[in-house]
Structure 1
Amino acid sequence: MTDLSFAWSAVGGDPALLGRATTVEREGALSARLPVRELARACVGACALAAAELGARRAGLAEVPAVRVDDGAVATAFLSERHLLVDGRAPVSFAPLSRFWRTADGWVRTHANYPHHRERLLSTLGVPDDVDRVASALAERSAAEVEEAVYAAGGLAVALRTPGEWAAHEQGAAVAARPLVERERLDETRARVLPPVAGAPLLPAAGLRVLDLTRVLAGPVATRTLALLGADVLRVDAPDRPEETGLHADTGFGKRSAALDLAADRAAFEELLAAADVVVTGYRPGALDRFGLSPEALSERRPGLVVAQLSAWGGYGPWGGRRGFDSLVQAATGIAAIEGSPERPGALPAQALDHGTGYLLAASVLRALTEQSRRGGTRAVRLVLARTAAWLKGADAPGPAHATEEGSPYDGPAPWLTETGSRIGRLRYARSPLAFTDGPADWSRPPVPWGSDTARWV
């Protein structure tokens, strides 16, 4: 079952602190066949509790601040990219070739939002950029054949599987055998001394530098959350891989954004790394190892860091080196089959694997910082979208309940939306769902245009 006690245990939290959390339940929020609302609530609750715990330690409080998790705020935040308006216009979230397609024996899900992925898909199929031509080409092949051929070309396609088929798959079995959150202490570095924080709002991550090497969507959600909590977050992207404007804006609150070629501008990158407290990566496993960004390499070069890694399928098993996105993980793991019908695959009401894993990733970083302040050690945490999917499907047993109260039914996001001006335009956006006593109510600054900052700490 997807409850807060299990999520809090997964990030290494003290069960005694569960009594500091209260949930406001709202029927109708994130309705689905699977317990999406419960998963979302648990992930946000664990993150808020981790923030309150670290904040109490840094502020010298006798008691951890009370946490309040409102289903309405959570549901709105889990759909933040859909609620965003830029000068009154909604950004495009999925490209025409990112969808389910019929194959000769079933269905396949493709992801072609980025130009290089679209080109590799079309090249594999040998067709022009035309929906009808793509549909005809896919209808002549088996789903498994498409999956393997597109991935071999560097594209993204996944065959629709049932939960049973995924459980029997070698990658499915490998993922299910791992914990929801993998936590590791890499060395015996002495305890981190975090300077005290004071005043309101209480900012648990104030003064910490977070190097954000992530892309859509879970990683940026995690680092956006750390920015809310006071961290100096610098997102760094390759100059030839710009992010879609709306998605970058949605996940860019509180951050700065720089474009940097890690190979050509190695000296600048090393300067960033030398002064970072937290490094968050969200590329496929091994993709950044040549830059010395594996947890093991970082523990030798920069002892005392917190290294957080995110991937779609995990860094193990036959799919360990594959790219992936929330929609593809839903298709492969059986979620799309559960939420759909015999006639057509379905989808969760939100990209809940992305958002949920993002909040769990932020929670894991916050807990690692708390543990460092007590016992030291370079810390590594790893999360996998497919493992979050296994949790959603009920692979883990429930723990004890925490306090709940019944609120009015969820009848829309309006109470949890707000507006601000920015260099990108006038933004309507979802507020953060994190709420604890004296905690921040909003980000300190709006998002900036992609790549508009210098790649250095301020």
Structure 2
Amino acid sequence: MSDATRIPDVYGPGTHTDKTFVPVTQDTERIFRLIASETPGFTQDEALLSKVKFTGEDFPVIPGPIKAVSVAAALHAMAGVLADEILTLRGAEDKSRQITVNTTHAAFWLGTIAAAHIGGEDVVSLTKQGKLKSLIPNWEQGWTDTPLKYRATALYPTANPEVWYSLHGSMDAPPVLRSIGVDPDDAAANTSNEAAAAHIAQHTSRISPEQLEMTNLLNGLCGSICFTPEQWNNSAMGKSLAAHPLINVKPLSPSVQTPPVSFPPLDPSDRRPLAGVRVLELTRVIAGPQISTLLASMGADVIRVNPPHLPDINVLQLTLNAGKRTIALDLRKPADAALLQSLVKEADVFVQGFRLGKMAKYGLAQDDIVAVAAARGRGIVYVSENCYGPDGYYAERPGWQQIADAASGSAYVTGRSLNLPNNEAVLPSLPVSDMTCGLLGAVGTLKALRDRATKGGSYAVHSSLVAVDTYALRPEVGLYPKEIVKECADRFQWAEMRGAHHVLDLLVTVYDGWKRVLGAYLEENSGWFQSFDKSDFGGRRLSLLKPVVAFSDKASTPEWKTPSLPYASHKAEEVRFR
């Protein structure tokens, strides 16, 4: 779109704001066509693209100017188109099959971890009442059991009054706190979340952003300056990431080329696009698990592996294990490593969410897995997700959603939209980059599986948190005008949002606004949820937000056949692919 349709720098350097507002569904259609046109190997067949229909609210339903919902909805639509192509390959062609994506549903999907019900009560209400802890196994190892630990993950002022910095406790906050001179056991600072945040801010405000950055680099800790979009785009890291397409799928070249792998015949009892596809998942937290949760909704048989010695977030067990079986393996133990390798030999897809170089230590690097696939004569799809991208000198640097939001400029833009002083940065109000990064990985996997079936070989899929953030800030996508952001805020009456707020605080803020204005959608019996009468969470009924993609062909529409399970629900030695 020409520059005449955008106003530069409304939300700071490197931002591009729409001059006029376009209804969300109409704008999402445009963004869908944009991403599709830029994705190598994605269909340009109008007969397939025109199967997609976007529905939903005309006006934005999340805070801020970033079109996160439209980007996510466009990617869901791409997943639907690829699934439709796979169904055709599997003998289930339907030229009249319609692919519907509701953009309001896509917005709720960004808040999936809150959009669930247990025993008739929603997760946010159960959390506020203190009832949720008794229903979910505890894997957190005390990562937020004090205010200082909780507030160690937030955005803070620095000695430069115009620059904010993203600290991240990485589920082990004490080393991060000590690195900036904070005693994790300071009794006065641990009296409340507010006292903890103020105490941390006192320390960071005496340290330059450059010193904070170097401290984290030297100690191997997470962190990022809250860059403007322009600063990120002009950086070496930004340029390295920009050299890759958003949906990053590459054929690999093993020493032995493997032939095309046909999908198994569709079982009349399960006509979902990926029924019979085997996925092995080794991930943590949100982005990586979301990849396989989406694949499971498409019919894949997913075995999720958790390292038993590493913490994970308890509430995620409710929604990000849907349709999966779950085991625990400690790869430091030879027997567990051998068991995992035996599963690799059977898998069609291997999903990993750890730092790229870490997998080689356990014989699970990309080259290792492709060699296994070549030896068995059947290609594999190797899926990686990380913060900064597949290459460049930050590729191995650890990072989380909050780090990506700071690095990309998303947090800077969000703060500017709230009219806060001193360039105070604020996290986008939902785990947007996490959830959309997972979606990106799933879309790439669908494309790679399609290509494996028609061309043969093995494929690498990479999705990155910063990539999805920066795409939503591109001039071709655009940002919402200030008056639209204000209208949205007036409608939902969001509570205060500040840099020191944890992403979970912001999620609750948004969910409360949704309940006030769009509460009928979030009722368990609204038709937007998939329910299981019994679950492993206190034996209670579990209702999950349905997958966003819906087909007119009900038998092929994505859904989960089994409810979410706690981590490590099965004995590892007894689990094999079906």
Query: What TM-score does the superposition give when structure 2 sets the normalisation length?
Result: 0.72
Counterpart for residue 362 of structure 2: 291
Counterpart for residue 401 of structure 1: none
Given candidates 15, 18, 30, the residue that maps to 2:44 is: 15
What is the rounded CA distance, in whole Å, between the counterparts of 2:396 and 2:476 in structure 1?
26
Secondary structure of the structure 2 residue equivalent to 1:257: strand
| Deviation (angstroms), 1:397 | 7.4
Residues 22 and 68, structure 1, Cα contact 8 Å, conserved in 2 = yes
How do residues 112-123 of structure 1 correspond to structure 2 at under 5 angstroms? 112=169, 114=171, 116=172, 118-123=173-178
What is the rounded CA distance, in whole Å, between the counterparts of 1:326 and 1:85 in structure 2?
25
What is the rounded CA distance, in whole Å, between the counterparts of 1:123 and 1:19 in structure 2?
55
How do residues 98-177 of structure 1 correspond to structure 2 at under 5 angstroms? 98-105=153-160, 106-112=163-169, 114=171, 116=172, 118-129=173-184, 130=189, 131=196, 132-177=198-243
Residues 299 and 558, structure 2, Cα contact 8 Å, conserved in 1 = no
| Deviation (angstroms), 1:80 | 0.5
Counterpart for residue 402 of structure 1: none
How do residues 395-434 of structure 1 correspond to structure 2 at under 5 angstroms? 411-412=518-519, 413-414=521-522, 415=526, 416-417=528-529, 419-420=531-532, 421-425=534-538, 426=540, 427-434=542-549
Given candidates 38, 63, 68, the residue that maps to 1:36 is: 68
Counterpart for residue 576 of structure 2: 457
Letter in 2 for 1:282: G
Q: 1:198 to 1:98 in 2, by over 3 A?
A: same
What is the rounded CA distance, in whole Å, between the counterparts of 2:40 and 2:560 in structure 1?
24
Matched, 1:213 2:267: no
Residues 209 and 277, structure 1, Cα contact 8 Å, conserved in 2 = yes
Given candidates 262, 265, 269, the residue that maps to 1:196 is: 265
Counterpart for residue 388 of structure 1: 468
Counterpart for residue 369 of structure 1: 449
Secondary structure of the structure 2 residue equivalent to 1:23: strand
Counterpart for residue 324 of structure 1: 399
Letter in 1 for 2:70: E
Letter in 1 for 2:351: V
What is the rounded CA distance, in whole Å, between the counterparts of 2:209 and 2:285 in structure 1?
25
Q: Name stretches of at least 5 consecutive residues in structure 2 with no aligned partner.
A: 2-27, 134-142, 145-149, 190-195, 479-513
Residues 77 and 430, structure 1, Cα contact 8 Å, conserved in 2 = yes
Q: Which has the higher helix share?
A: 2
Counterpart for residue 6 of structure 1: 34
Given candidates 83, 103, 111, the residue that maps to 1:79 is: 111
Structure number with greater CO (CA < 8 Å, separation at least 6) is 1
Bigger mean CA offset, 298-307 vs 142-151: 142-151
Letter in 1 for 2:169: A
What is the rounded CA distance, in whole Å, between the counterparts of 1:275 and 1:396 in structure 2?
42
Task: Note the alpha carbon deviations across 1:432-456, whole angstroms, 9 max, x for none.
Answer: 1121122335311111111121233
| Deviation (angstroms), 1:35 | 1.6
Task: Note the alpha carbon deviations across 1:27-68, whole angstroms, 9 max, x for none.
Answer: 233353122221011111111221222123213425373210
Aligned residue pairs total 446
Task: Note the alpha carbon deviations across 1:299-335, whole angstroms, 9 max, x for none.
Answer: 1122311111111101322211111112211111111
Which is higher, the Rg of structure 1 or of structure 2? 2
How do residues 203-352 of structure 1 correspond to structure 2 at under 5 angstroms? 203-264=272-333, 265-303=336-374, 304-341=379-416, 342-343=420-421, 344-352=424-432
Letter in 1 for 2:426: G
Letter in 2 for 1:15: Q
Task: Note the alpha carbon deviations across 1:102-122, whole angstroms, 9 max, x for none.
Answer: 2211311122251x2x12202
| Deviation (angstroms), 1:248 | 2.5
Letter in 2 for 1:318: Y
| Deviation (angstroms), 1:383 | 1.6
Secondary structure of the structure 1 residue equivalent to 2:61: coil
What is the rounded CA distance, in whole Å, between the counterparts of 1:134 and 1:397 in structure 2?
36
Task: Note the alpha carbon deviations across 1:415-445, whole angstroms, 9 max, x for none.
Answer: 4245443112443432211211223353111
Counterpart for residue 406 of structure 1: none
Residues 49 and 67, structure 1, Cα contact 8 Å, conserved in 2 = yes
Secondary structure of the structure 1 residue equivalent to 2:271: coil
State the identity %.
Answer: 26
Q: 1:268 to 1:64 in 2, by over 3 A?
A: farther
Letter in 1 for 2:263: L
| Deviation (angstroms), 1:286 | 1.3
Task: Note the alpha carbon deviations across 1:256-312, whole angstroms, 9 max, x for none.
Answer: 111101231221111111111100111122121222322222211223111111111
What is the rounded CA distance, in whole Å, between the counterparts of 1:196 and 1:128 in structure 2?
60
Q: Name stretches of at least 5 consecutive residues in structure 1 with no aligned partner.
A: 399-408
Residues 186 and 378, structure 1, Cα contact 8 Å, conserved in 2 = yes
Task: Note the alpha carbon deviations across 1:54-95, whole angstroms, 9 max, x for none.
Answer: 123213425373210111221111111122355541369983
| Deviation (angstroms), 1:200 | 6.0
Matched, 1:446 2:501: no
| Deviation (angstroms), 1:123 | 2.9
Secondary structure of the structure 2 residue equivalent to 1:59: coil
Task: Note the alpha carbon deviations across 1:160-190, whole angstroms, 9 max, x for none.
Answer: 1111221222211211222212221113310
Q: 1:62 to 1:52 in 2, by over 3 A?
A: closer
Bigger mean CA offset, 189-198 vs 2-11: 2-11
Secondary structure of the structure 1 residue equivalent to 2:90: helix
Residues 280 and 304, structure 2, Cα contact 8 Å, conserved in 1 = yes
What is the rounded CA distance, in whole Å, between the counterparts of 2:470 and 2:401 in structure 1?
13
Secondary structure of the structure 2 residue equivalent to 1:221: helix
- Provide runs of 4+ in structure 1 moved above 4 Å: 91-94, 395-398
What is the rounded CA distance, in whole Å, between the counterparts of 2:182 and 2:428 in structure 1?
31
